[in-house]
Homo-oligomer: A and B are copies of this chain.
Amino acid sequence: MTEITPNQENYLKTIYLEVEEKGYAKMSDVAALLSVRKSSVNAALNILADKKLINYTPYAKITLTEIGLKKAREIIKRFETMNNFFLHILKLSREEAIANSCKIEHVMSEALFDRISEFYEFTEEFCKQNPDYKKQLDSLLVK
């Protein structure tokens, strides 16, 4: 069980999303996305490589290992779970929802993840069955 810091999780996630979107990940793009210097990214990537989460050889494209992939997907799952809740139930703005999810995804427990997921599903369903509940919720939170 490779331990990983919140920050390292964030690098991993960013690389994963870059690879998803463009087919590869470049250091300088990661630096731009996270608003840090290339040298900082370099240091971080060396740590992730040490932990066998990414393949990172000098001057080559960055790819994720199997474990890295798995871990990245977990992080993104946590992100999406919180984000859905914030966006569609609490009705936070896109930016607010994302900002909070990006922080919380790194500190939440498995149990919280499970409960939020269940609660989200339940609430969506309940809204469908009970338009009155939905209406009350909407009028409460949006103004």
A contacts, CB < 8 Å to B: 86, 89-93, 96, 99-100, 103-104, 107-109, 111-112, 115-116, 118-119, 122, 126, 130, 133, 136-137, 140-141
Contact = CB atoms under 8 A, between A and B. Distances in A.
Contacts of A130: 133
Given A96-B112, A104-B104, A119-B141, 5 more contacts: A90-B115, A90-B119, A92-B112, A103-B104, A103-B108
A115 B92 contact: yes
B122 A136 contact: yes
A140 B122 contact: yes
Secondary structure of the A side of the interface? Answer: helix
B119 A109 contact: no
Nearest to A121: B140
B100 A109 contact: yes
